[in-house]
Amino acid sequence: MKKINILLALLLMLSFSLTAQKKEDKYFSKNTKLAEKSFNESKYFDAIMLFDKAYPKAKGTKEKGFITYHIAVASQYIGDNKKAKENYERALRFKYEKEEPDLYVRLAQMQMQDAEYKEAKRNFEMAIKKNPDDEMAIKGLKAVDNVNDILANPTKHKVQAVKELNSENYDWSISQFDKRGEEFIFSSTRKASVGNVNDIVANEEYADLWVTRADRNGNFGEPKSVGENINTKDHEASAVMYNGSNSIMFTRCKKEKNTVSGCQIYTADKKGKNWSDPIRIPLTDSLGFSNGHPATDRKGTFIVFSSDMPGGRGGKDLWISEFNKRTKEWGVAENLGTAINTAGDEKFPTIGPDGSLFFSSNGLPGIGGLDIFKATKIGTSNKWTRPENMGTPINSSKDDHGIIFNKNSENSGYFSSSRLGRNEMDQKSDIFKFDLPECALTIKGRVRDQDTKEPLAGATVILTGSDGSTATIKTDSEGNFEFGKRGTGRYVNKDVNYTLEYSHKNEKKFWLTRKSKRTTVGDYCNETFYEDVELVCAIGCKPIIMPEVQYPLGKATLLVNEAVNSGDSLLFLYDIMIDNPTIKVQLESHTDCRDSDQRNLELSQRRAQTCVDFLISKGIDRSRLVAKGFGESQPRTITEAGVDKTLECDMINGLKTSNKELFEKYHQLNRRTSFSVIEEETEEK
């Protein structure tokens, strides 16, 4: 509850279930009775001072428990978390939970607001142990268990305080004032309000409505009072515009006989530069209940508001009333039901651009205090789905509420929060802005020749998305390419699977087409995916050696052992032929020199045919494959220590006794298969 409870006391003064409102049979001191009177009149600052004075003269644990509990509650309502927690814990030592069963829950809620989740869990569990049906404790415990998931999965929103609007006082509930989205109206207890006396609850100026204009860069000008016909000596706050910004709804809380008597919703229409006299919207039969925080659509066809009227779930619930155009009257208010309301408080509703309902609750699982929730509209009716927590950083362990969105935007807007705002010492409610930066996804890379490592300028890169999108670009002089901005949009979008196809040819050479894949499905935002691509030169270059296609000595079968699987290695060529469906290749096999020329020639031919047969078995058309054996006539050239070495038979045989391991290695390297492209792709490719 924290700081915002002062605002709620100002703007939605509802009944409290406190023993201070119960008549004790006996008081142990006059000071305790006097402090209780101030508390019941919502004079929390005075009450704390008087309770502190009464405590040393308290004669028993019951009176001390009574005093400490009410110091804690009063401290909670004026936002002094530290003192509230200290006194709730002291009240527990006096076993005052027997008098006030909500003591454990109140303490746990305060601990949640200070992110003391382990301590809060322990006290929620104690509350459930005392009362297994305590709904607030049950939901509080569930919230604690869910906190880590929420904190571990923050959204990409950027949040910062709007310093030019926040004062040393309370500032909250900002909303659009004009239909162009350039002016805004918000609530504040800053100096120079119309009711320029201190409120008995908050020890602040009375709340008024203020208007400010934002420039093109989103910077706000000096706020001005909305006008004396709206602002009075009473509290006015939480306004919303409708009817083309020609009408206003707002909350007014009247002060009578030194107390705040309750809050109601008023409406007024523009009259030139002024306003008509505000009229109360009759949402309840009795003025004994408070209604506040109005939310409506652009035409004012309904009001969603917060109220303590009978028929709710407990605390403050959200209700809805629809306007009858024929009778010009507001209908009977209906509770939004268990999908929205809880035994806790639901407050500060707003309507999003798409009709979604946003509101704050301390009864739904959150991370402390009031959290902001979103409920999506169902069809065209005024019904909404079960709400979802908006997560961090929109929500914090403090009170967060009153979210709105910029005109025609679902990614930026404003909300209020009691987190640190104006400065590091200020925990009063302030106005914050949020923005969801564009997810600028980029695919960039470089295309080079696999053998020479030289960049391939003018290579073609085709990007094809699973969403049906396609784009083609050429690499620059350094072989670089980038799929980034595309006019007002981008080439690469979220949640799409992409295939990139690289190809290149010139008058003398032809490089094999290669493909790669990238996905943006998942939690990707503002990321660059890099592709370092090497293309194999197939025409105008030397034959292409396939990786690890080897054979046992004197045999044409593919070598398969713990070190090599030549069948898998042939898939290298298979993938190339799939990516290049029009090429024709010649499989070129070789042997070592440990047999006659003729037998080696025949063996190499069988080896080449083995490779052809393997590829045919995988689905490659026979007409695209040619087997060619070269026997031992073309020994392999390798590079060792930067020096090229041809594996001639005489050189290898010289190692037979001196280095048997190297002798076998060199012979094995000569037993190889390479391939050459013997037919270039057609012009259609």
CATH number at residue 300: 2.120.10.30
Q: What is the pLDDT of residue 548?
A: 67
User: How far apart are the C-alpha atoms of 246 and 269, rounded to whole Å?
Assistant: 6
Distance CA 104, CA 396 (A): 22
Rounded to whole angstroms, the Cα distance separating 27 from 448 reads: 90
Say if 76 falls within a structural domain.
Answer: yes
Q: Which amino acid is at 197?
A: V
Domain boundary among 538, 560, 584: 538
Indicate whether 144 and 167 sit together in one domain.
no
Residue 622: pLDDT band (50, 70, 90) is very high
Instruction: Provide the CATH number for the domain around residue 646.
Output: 3.30.1330.60
Position 202 scores a pLDDT of 52
As a whole-number percent, the residues of the chain with pLDDT over 70 amount to 91
- How far is residue 587 from each of residues 541, 567, 638, 667, measured CA to CA in Å? 16, 14, 20, 20
CB count in 10 Å sphere of residue 499? 14
For 446, list phi and psi in degrees, rounded to 5: -140, 140
Cβ neighbours around 269 below 10 Å, total: 13
Interatomic CA distance for residues 84 and 86, integer angstroms? 6
The four Cα atoms 158, 164, 170, 171 give a dihedral, to 10 degrees, of: -60
Question: Quick one: angle between helices 103-113 and 61-78, nearest 10?
Answer: 40
Q: Is the pLDDT of residue 542 over 50?
A: yes
* pLDDT number for residue 272: 85
Euclidean distance between CA atoms 373 and 366, whole angstroms? 9
Give me the pLDDT at residue 254, please: 80
**Which pLDDT does position 499 carry in this prediction?**
97
209-233 burial, b at 16+ Cβ within 10 Å, e below that, comes to bbbbebeeeeebeebeebbeebbbe
Residues 427 and 460 reside in one and the same domain: no
Mean pLDDT of 9-18: 38
| Beta strands at 158-161 and 171-176: parallel, antiparallel or unpaired | unpaired
Report pLDDT digits (tens) over 236-246: 999 999 999 99
pLDDT on residue 128: 95
The pLDDT assigned to 255 comes to 67
Statement: residue 378 has pLDDT above 90 = yes
Q: Is the dihedral of CA 464, 470, 476, 481 positive or negative?
A: negative
Domain boundaries, position 524: 442-538
Read off the pLDDT band of 380 (50, 70, 90).
Answer: confident
* Burial readout 408-445 (b: 16 or more C-beta within 10 A, e: otherwise): eeeebbbbbbbbebbeeebbbbbbbbbbeeebebbbeb
- What mean pLDDT value characterizes the chain? 88
Residue 459 sits in the same domain as residue 380: no
Strands (E), 560-656: 584-589, 625-629, 637-640, 643-646
448 and 314 belong to one structural domain: no
Q: Examine the pLDDT at 425 and tell me if it is beyond 60.
A: no
pLDDT at 632 over 70: yes
Contacts of 359 (CB under 8 A, 6+ apart): 304, 318, 340, 346, 347, 348, 349, 350, 372, 373, 375, 387
Tell me, yes or no, whether 684 lies in a domain. Answer: no
In this structure, is residue 685 part of a structural domain? no
Do residues 588 and 596 lie in contact, with contact meaning Cβ atoms separated by under 8 Å?
A: no
* Average confidence (pLDDT) over 667-678: 85
pLDDT score recorded for residue 423: 45
Higher-confidence position of 524 and 173: 173
Find all residues with CB under 8 Å of 396, minimum gap 6, and list them: 367, 368, 369, 417, 419
Close Cβ partners of 611 (under 8 Å, ≥ 6 residues apart): 549, 558, 570, 573, 587, 589, 627, 673
Is the same domain home to 178 and 322? Answer: yes
Does 234 share its domain with 383? yes
Provide the number of structural domains found in the chain.
Answer: 4
Residue 346 and residue 226 in one domain: yes
Residue 431 in any domain: the answer is yes
Residues 408 and 509 in one domain: no
| Percentage of the residues of the chain whose pLDDT score is greater than 90 | 62
- 303-350 tens-digit pLDDT: 999 999 998 888 899 999 999 999 999 999 999 999 999 988 999 999
CA distance 378 to 364: 20
Angle at 124 between CA 122 and CA 128, to 5 degrees: 115
Whether 653 maps to a domain, the answer reads yes
Highest mean pLDDT among 188-192, 504-508, 529-533, 578-582: 529-533
Model pLDDT, residue 683:
46
Nearest to 172 by CA among 434, 431, 433: 431
Using alpha carbons, select from 257, 264, 353, 343 the residue that is nearest to residue 307: 264
pLDDT of residue 679: 59
Q: Could you tell me the CATH number of the domain that includes residue 519? A: 2.60.40.1120
With contact defined as beta carbons under 8 Å apart, do 368 and 115 qualify?
yes
From 477, 509, 538, the end of a domain falls on 538
Q: Tell me the per-residue pLDDT of 134-162, one tens digit each, with 9 for 90 and over.
A: 988 999 999 999 999 999 899 889 999 99
- Ranking 402-416, 421-435, 569-583, 621-635 by mean pLDDT, the lowest is 421-435
Strand-strand pairing, 460-465 and 510-519: unpaired
Strands (E), 244-297: 247-256, 259-271, 274-275, 279-280, 291-295
pLDDT at 629 over 60: yes
State residue 124's pLDDT score: 95
**Are 83 and 211 part of one and the same domain?**
no
565 vs 653, more confident: 653
Q: How far apart are CA 319 and CA 445, in angstroms?
A: 56
Q: Is the pLDDT of residue 10 over 50?
A: no
- Clarify whether residues 426 and 533 are in a common domain: no
Residue 174 has pLDDT above 90, yes or no: yes
Give the model's pLDDT for residue 194: 62
Better pLDDT: 455 or 657: 455
Query: Residue 592 above 60 pLDDT?
Result: yes
User: For residues 18 and 64, which has the higher predicted lDDT (pLDDT)?
Assistant: 64
Q: Considering only CA atoms, which of 253, 259, 122, 250 is closest in space to residue 201?
A: 259
Same domain, 452 and 527: yes
pLDDT digits (tens, 9 = 90+) for 448-471: 999 899 999 999 999 999 999 999
Element (H or E) spanning 237, and its range? strand 235-242
Binned at pLDDT 50, 70 and 90, residue 25 comes out as very low
Kindly indicate the confidence band of residue 680, based on its pLDDT and cuts at 50, 70 and 90. Answer: low
Higher pLDDT, 288 or 363: 363
Among 500, 516, 538, residue at a domain's last position: 538
Determine the average pLDDT of the residues in 562-586: 86
pLDDT at 583 over 80: yes
Q: Which of 198-212, 402-416, 499-513, 607-621 has the lowest mean pLDDT?
A: 198-212
pLDDT of residue 256: 63
Whether residue 533 is found in the same domain as residue 552? no
Cα–Cα distance between 410 and 393 in angstroms, integer?
16
Residue 227 lies in a domain: yes
Residue 476 has pLDDT above 80, yes or no: yes
The pLDDT of residue 196 is 52
Query: Domain for residue 670, yes or no?
Result: yes
**pLDDT computed for residue 332 by the predictor:** 93
**pLDDT (0 to 100) of residue 198:** 53
pLDDT beyond 50 at 684:
no
Give me the CATH number covering residue 67. 1.25.40.10
Query: Looking at residue 566, what is its pLDDT?
Result: 85
- Which pTM does this prediction carry? 0.68
Per-residue model confidence as pLDDT tens digits over 407-416? 877 889 999 9
pLDDT at 422 over 90: no
The answer to whether residue 331 is domain-embedded is yes
373, 343 Cβ separation under 8 angstroms: no
Confidence of residue 2 (pLDDT cuts 50, 70, 90): very low
